[in-house]
Amino acid sequence: MKSNVKPKIVIIGCGNLAWHLVKHLFSLKTFDLFVYNHQPNALLNKFKMKLNCFTGDSLSKIVSDADYYFVCVADKFVSSVSRHLKNISSSSVVVLTSGSVSLDDLHKNSINKGVFYPVQTFSVADDINWAEVPVIIEGNNVYSVKKVKEMGKLFSKKILQLKSAERLKLHLSAVLVNNFTNSLYVAADNFISNEIKNKEVNFKLLLPLIQQTTLKINKMSPVKAQTGPAKRKDGKVIKKHLRIIKNKDLKKTYRRLTELILAQQNISSSGSKQKK
């Protein structure tokens, strides 16, 4: 037996998640790492040079004897990419990493199919504290579950096994607090740039407030942390705000979220749907 050959991990895709998975796996020093893209991509070179990966610019060249095949491509390509993995070892697990793709969307060619969905946002420049990132796992059989769980534990203290339908719900929640929240930051940034003439006033002024908003919900439930004119039902301030918003999209968004807060606070005070 080849005793000093390390187990192999294949990553398909070379985006932000691929980068952070490989970066962490590289730090463990226990795997040989392979990164493939469906076509040449300048990013592959970074994986080779910085994280000591074998790289390939075509899916037809993928090695067949890896322990794990992580599919790190856009949701709509997961299915077609997994179809390429038809000649892999029967002990390999093909793993999807998305919040919204069903386990069944992995091609039926694969004997062992799994999910490894980290509930986190990834940009190349980020520092990721993997130990605290919840990793949602799933598998199509006992062996697959065991394998993705083992892999999950190399990353995080928080491994949770969920069915695809439940994972989709968690992914939706992540969209609310991450993508939608960020869109409000964009809205504020645009509003300040377009409407406030004083050059010293810019989006950065809001950073301490944004930071505190986040810290607060570490200590109390979000419904208790709610403040502001909508929470106080202060129609006068709401009208003042609506009067100074020119952008139609922002006006609609202001109205919608004001309505949302009013509904949330009513539910909360009646206690009829709030579980806490």
The verdict on 261 binding a second copy (CB under 8 A) reads yes
Lay out the site mask for a second copy across 191-210 (x = CB under 8 A, - = otherwise). xxxxxxxx-xx-x-xxxxxx
Q: Which of 30, 50, 126, 154 binds a second copy (CB under 8 A)?
A: 126
71 close to 18: Cβ distance less than 8 angstroms = no
Q: How many residues bind a second copy (CB under 8 A)?
A: 105
Lay out the site mask for a second copy across 13-52 (x = CB under 8 A, - = otherwise). ----------------------------------------
Q: Which of 40, 80, 215, 269 binds a second copy (CB under 8 A)?
A: 215
Lay out the site mask for a second copy across 217-246 (x = CB under 8 A, - = otherwise). xxxxxxx-xxxxxxxx-x-xx--xx--xx-
Stretch that binds a second copy, among 49-57, 83-91, 122-130, 139-147 (CB under 8 A): 122-130
Closest CB to a second copy among residues 154, 215: 215
Least distance between a second copy and beta carbon 135 (Å): 10
Amino acid letter, 180: F
Q: What is the DSSP string of the chain?
A: --TTPPPEEEEE--SHHHHHHHHHHHHHT--EEEEE-SS--THHHHHHHHH--EEESSGGG--S--SEEEE-S-GGGHHHHHHT--SS-TT-EEEE--SSS-GGGS-TT-SSEEEEEESS---TT----GGGS-EEEEESSHHHHHHHHHHHHTT-S-EEE--HHHHHHHHHHHIIIIIIHHHHHHHHHHHHHHH---TT--GGGGHHHHHHHHHHHHHS-HHHH--STTTTT-HHHHHHHHHH---HHHHHHHHHHHHHHHHHHHHHHHTSS---
Least distance between a second copy and beta carbon 52 (Å): 26
Helix (H, G, I), strand (E, B) or coil at 95: strand
Stretch that binds a second copy, among 44-52, 107-115, 142-150, 154-162 (CB under 8 A): 154-162
Least distance between a second copy and beta carbon 66 (Å): 28
Closest CB to a second copy among residues 49, 215: 215
Site for a second copy in 58-117 (CB under 8 A): 74-76, 100
Stretch that binds a second copy, among 22-30, 31-39, 43-51, 172-180 (CB under 8 A): 172-180
Closest CB to a second copy among residues 89, 100: 100
